[in-house]
Structure 1
Amino acid sequence: MRAFRTTLLMTAVSGLALSAGLAHAADFAPAAAGPADGPLDGQVEQVIVTAQKREQKTLDVPIALTAYSGAMLEKLGIQEFEELGQFVPGFDVQNQSPNNPGFVMRGITSDSGEATNEPRVSVYQDGVSVSKSRGSYTELFDLERVEVAKGPQSTLYGRGALIGAVNIIQAKARQGQDWNAKLEAGDNGYWMGEGMINMPLTDSLAVRLSGRVKQRDGYVKNLLGGEDFNSTDTKAVRLAINYAPGDRFKLDVIYNYETDNPSGTSFKSLTYLPTNPTTGAVIGDLGRNSGAALSTVAGFENDQKLGLNRRLWSLTGLASYKLSDSLTLNSISAYRYFTGEEVFDPDGFSLPLFTFAEDAQGKSASQEFRLNYDAGGRISAFGGVSYFWEDGSQRVPLLINEKVGALFLTGKLPFPNGLPLPTIVAVTPAALPANHLEESTNFGKTKSYDLFGDVTYHATDKLELAAGVRYTYDDKESGYAASINGPSVLGGSSPTAGARGLIVQPTAGGLAQYRGFTDSGATYRLVARYAATQNINIYGSVSTGRRPKVISAGAPSVPNGAVNFREVAAEEVTSYEVGAKGALLDNRLTLEGAVYRYDYSNFQTSIRNPSNPSQIISANAGEAKSTGFEGQATFQATPEASVFATYGYSHARFGSGLFEGNRFRLSPDHSLSIGASLSKTALGGRFTFVPTYTWQSAQFFDNNNDIPALQTTTGVIKDTVQNERQKAFGLANLRASYQPDGGTVKYEAFVTNLFDQDYIKDAGNTGDAFGIATFIAGEPRFFGVSVSIRR
């Protein structure tokens, strides 16, 4: 441990001089002021953040924190989380669809859609937890800033911040009238329109209305005709109201509404060729990024087509009242609701073996009261209480064509060509149902109470000590229900055995069974920050995170039997971190570096049920460890030229249990981003070029690392090839703009994935449970132009 601590400190200090990483301070400007093309005084400016519940410069915050202003997000062309993750060291986002994202922080993934599970990385909107992944992926527009805090942040943020927190600070209404509008268009039928108007109604009341509409055709061809896969269809609107009758009281009310209706996700089989299901003619190839032949079945889920139909809205109230010059009472009130149904073809080929849907719904309410104390002396502090309520469900209907299944599960469906449907009907027994439906639903309810406090003590002019603690008590309930529309012949139904399902055994009467439980625990943080100089800070911290106990619910072992409830112990992590931050060369250069180590116990993961591999259940994977380094820097060479870069190293491995020695899923060991902002005054205006390049090393998509010995499948087909991984790859982007001198109109051209790099977003998926892994293609090269106006 002594050697580890010494190495930790030396690496952090050397990171201050050597790290190349994107300063989370770059190009700060208020969101309403428009995109900043670079500070004209030749210095790197800093975003003011509130990660510690008070306003601070990023260099003064003893946390590995990346923050971007709304102006910087616009300069980089970042419109959603997946793009944001490419420029934040230690943070990555996988986007299968807006309904199925994966948030990865320092190697730890949070993406479960089950209503009974808790997140490890939670998204917050103005401090309000969006705890369920199905409602967390939202459009990033009209923002003040984004703060990404790495490491256990439970004491500061509360639930869902086991290993990090992403806080989206939305632009508020304010005094002063202004507006902006932007229109983009490009290839693949892309267009995007957005706008904002802010206006005062009285001296104490102002309103702000903003919105975005974005559409793009799918980029994976639908070989069976119809809408191509992986399209974009998003509409989002926000209304913000500010009421400030005096200097002591302020109230912000924010209403968000968003809908997402993209086409189906391109689950592509590399086992079976795309064919015409009627004639058997081959119509495609086995490429990971080429066209797919996928479809749904008439009548399934009321004839909803492949794709997502998601709707979410939220209402938030942020109030503060100055009780005195040193004491402020803050209140955060929120209500959220989401519903999303996604229909997909998980087997990845044209025959209707399986057709799935996921219908996820959730609603939550929260209330926090917090007192902040700061008299300008040696001690500042905050403390408070909060309440969180949530009620969610995840319904999963599965339609099985048992005629196709009979051949597939016995290994008699030849590959790679398969067979035409008419031939399959002719050679299989008439008793096999073509539309056997099995449906399961999991339920999760939570009532949670928090008590928290944090104190910062300025021991000397250079030394600052902080300590925080949070106690959480949960009253939870897990539930499960399952039903079938008739006996499954393949499942072994008979007059004596009763009506059995093939994958899911029904609960009695198809009704839900519930189990209630309670859980409680405390987390803490201890932090020291030393100001080596006016512009250089060194810090160290020990902090803990806790993911509450889970009661996982699974199908009965026999038809109409008892639900299999399994208790998974609370997941706990202890984090050690040392970092350094500094501004050098008259604030023209900012450097930041941090090294960390995590020790986990009772690491909760999702595995396939050994007795039913098609079913996903929660399990305790034992111990896990993660060590790593993150660095970021910006250099403002001249008022018109800056360069920036990030680098993250994460060595995250399972330490014991089933996956001992394996890498964590969606966790590359290395990732980096580099870029520049170059401006030139010419032809009566200002030209700006922003080239960027992001790169990551190889990654796996499952904690089993696609190791054949750890693969559990249903049927005779076994997955013996370790190909469910993405090798190292990089993406280059370029944006170029022109704005006339003194003008309010800006013209821009952009291209993403400039060199048309092939890569995949995911592999394995539902098909992996049957030995036929599927692959989801990443975005190809896109290009477009835009025009914007700001008044």
Structure 2
Amino acid sequence: MRDKLGNDREIFAVTANLEYALNEAWTLTSLTDYRDLTSNEAWDSDGAAFNLLQFYQAREGDALSQEFRLNYDNGGKMTGYFGANYFDYETRDSLTFSTDEAYAQSLFLPQIAGGAGLTVAQIRGLLMMQGVPGAENVGSFETPFQYSVLGLLTQGALIPLNPAHLEQSRTTDARTSYDLFGDVTYDVTDRLSLTAGLRYTVNELEASSVGELLRGNAALGGTANAVTFAPGFLINAALLNNPYSVSAEPDGAFTWRFNAAYRVSDNVNTWVSYGRGRRPEAISISGRTSSVVDAETLDNVEAGMFGRFFDDRLQMTTSVYYGQYENFQTSRFDPINGVFVVENSGNATQYGFEFDGQALLTDNIRLLGSYAYNFSEYDDEDSNGNPLQFAGNRFRMSPENSFSLPSTDHSRLRRAISGKASNSSRTTTASTTLPMAAAGLPACAKPIRMARLWLKRPTPMAW
């Protein structure tokens, strides 16, 4: 699969938005949306030059939503809307794992040796004393040992390792949601408006999983790998050719928002808001057991300002925010069962500052700029006072500081060139549940800085 690295994705979407005026104050809106996704992605999970942890995922999914909304506006101080929503989706995934057993053996050898009460060096010395060909390469990633160490230790047999082991897990995930919602805005004065919204959601969940060994070790009849003698490295034996399905109907829950907007002048508007967001429950399958992961919630407070100045030649938006996550859901790869699982990783805190603006320097030159500071980190304890495994860890793909400074030039030149540049800094952390350190492939955390420059020469303008 190394020659197919990349992602090929196709999305088909259809949306219908219909509106009917019932009278001067009430309108009925119908919003229908259908989406279909097909994705094929291959990636090298370890980043090494050899065939160790290669994955290929084929995904198909479809989603349908239907919303009916009654909108109220009679020109007075109060406006609002009320409605119901239906949402249904299903995804079907097949995750294929490929490895060269010789390299996989070097990766898992510390655990194999520990199970026998030995070290890798002791096994290497023992096999060299017995005159096993290539024994000096036991544990090496440069020239890995080509025979099964476990086969030699337990059977005294030279079992050649398979350079193209292949296994697959297939999973499905489905959810049906029903929502009732309402939102009301009241103009206290010409400048001050208050908004309150409430939503109630009920979910129905379904999931399934099954494993299949596509290409085992020929010397073992193709029914197992020669490194651990299990059917696969990642698929759970209990799911091998034996599908497991589960469904759940968690209790419904409320989300809400409150917002106050105050117009300081015709050109400056301010706001402060508080809301609760929610990621629905999820089913997590491990072997032939399953659990329902609690819904993730985010309570967030935000205050901000939007302004236009100097005859709209300068515009800017700025805001500060603070949020508390509870039952933060994390997706990770489970090497025991060979599937991606969703876990409750505890509580987290985020806060930050955002700014973006634009200035018209001349009639043709516009300067745009943005800056964001973001702190997002796992708390030390969950809501029950239990210490968290990821305490102090930052969120992935959440840069602490980021900024951009693009500009555009719309001068009437025959061969105009426009460009923009941006710079961002972020900290990323990579981790794995596999024994990477023992393989000389440690996890890392380091700052990454990126700079980008775009230049565009449009089609020559006609005079």
TM-score bin (small chain): 0.7 to 0.9
How far residue 314 of structure 1 moved from its aligned partner, in angstroms, is 2.4
Distance of aligned partners of 1:409 and 1:323 in 2 relative to their CA distance in 1, 3 Å threshold: same
Contact 1:666 1:701 in 2 (8 A): no
Distance of aligned partners of 1:402 and 1:379 in 2 relative to their CA distance in 1, 3 Å threshold: same
1:426 and 1:660 map into 2 onto residues whose CA distance is: 40
Equivalence for 2:395: 664
User: Structure 1: which amino acid aligns with 2:235?
Assistant: V
Aligned match for 1:328, one of 5, 24, 27: 27
Aligned match for 1:448, one of 177, 180, 191: 177
Q: What SS is found at the alignment partner of 1:728?
A: strand
Q: What SS is found at the alignment partner of 1:664?
A: coil
How far residue 695 of structure 1 moved from its aligned partner, in angstroms, is 1.3
Distance of aligned partners of 1:433 and 1:542 in 2 relative to their CA distance in 1, 3 Å threshold: same
Aligned match for 1:515, one of 219, 233, 246: 246
How far residue 476 of structure 1 moved from its aligned partner, in angstroms, is 0.8
Point out the structure with the larger strand share.
2
Aligned match for 1:366, one of 40, 43, 65: 65
Equivalence for 1:529: 261
Which structure ranks higher in relative contact order (CA pairs < 8 Å, sequence separation ≥ 6)? 1
Q: What SS is found at the alignment partner of 2:202?
A: strand
How far residue 518 of structure 1 moved from its aligned partner, in angstroms, is 1.5
| Cα displacement string for residues 265-290 of structure 1 (whole angstroms, at most 9, x for unaligned residues) | xxxxxxxxxxxxxxxxxxxxxxxxxx
Contact 1:653 1:664 in 2 (8 A): yes
Aligned match for 1:699, one of 412, 427, 431: 427
Q: Does 1:591 pair with 2:316? A: yes
Aligned match for 1:713, one of 419, 434, 450: 434
User: Structure 2: which amino acid aligns with 1:369?
Assistant: F
Equivalence for 1:645: 369
Aligned match for 1:690, one of 418, 435, 443: 418
Equivalence for 2:383: none
Q: What SS is found at the alignment partner of 1:409?
A: helix
TM-score for the superposition, normalised by structure 1: 0.49
2:459 and 2:106 map into 1 onto residues whose CA distance is: 61
Q: Does 1:383 pair with 2:82? A: yes
How far residue 618 of structure 1 moved from its aligned partner, in angstroms, is 2.2
Distance of aligned partners of 1:467 and 1:358 in 2 relative to their CA distance in 1, 3 Å threshold: same
Equivalence for 2:220: none
| Cα displacement string for residues 585-609 of structure 1 (whole angstroms, at most 9, x for unaligned residues) | 1221112110000011111113454
| Cα displacement string for residues 234-262 of structure 1 (whole angstroms, at most 9, x for unaligned residues) | xxxxxxxxxxxxxxxxxxxxxxxxxxxxx
The 5 Å alignment of 1:443-592 reads 443-485=172-214, 486-493=223-230, 500-507=231-238, 510-519=241-250, 520-554=252-286, 556=287, 563-592=288-317
Equivalence for 2:114: none
Distance of aligned partners of 1:570 and 1:449 in 2 relative to their CA distance in 1, 3 Å threshold: same
The 5 Å alignment of 1:610-629 reads 612=336, 616-629=340-353
Aligned match for 2:168, one of 439, 448, 465: 439
Aligned residue pair count = 413
Higher alpha-carbon Rg: 2
How far residue 508 of structure 1 moved from its aligned partner, in angstroms, is 5.3
2:269 and 2:162 map into 1 onto residues whose CA distance is: 69
| Cα displacement string for residues 149-169 of structure 1 (whole angstroms, at most 9, x for unaligned residues) | xxxxxxxxxxxxxxxxxxxxx
Contact 2:148 2:160 in 1 (8 A): no
| Cα displacement string for residues 538-563 of structure 1 (whole angstroms, at most 9, x for unaligned residues) | 11000110111111113x2xxxxxx2
How far residue 374 of structure 1 moved from its aligned partner, in angstroms, is 1.6
How far residue 701 of structure 1 moved from its aligned partner, in angstroms, is 4.2
Structure 2, unmatched stretches of 5+, are 110-119, 121-137, 153-157, 215-222, 381-387
How far residue 661 of structure 1 moved from its aligned partner, in angstroms, is 1.3
| Cα displacement string for residues 708-744 of structure 1 (whole angstroms, at most 9, x for unaligned residues) | xxx5323772567564544223222233446536x5x
Pairwise CA RMSD of aligned residues?
Answer: 2.8
Equivalence for 1:397: 96
| Cα displacement string for residues 64-98 of structure 1 (whole angstroms, at most 9, x for unaligned residues) | xxxxxxxxxxxxxxxxxxxxxxxxxxxxxxxxxxx
2:405 and 2:106 map into 1 onto residues whose CA distance is: 51
TM-score for the superposition, normalised by structure 2: 0.81
Aligned match for 2:140, one of 405, 414, 417: 414
The 5 Å alignment of 1:343-358 reads 343-358=42-57
Equivalence for 1:730: 451
Equivalence for 2:126: none
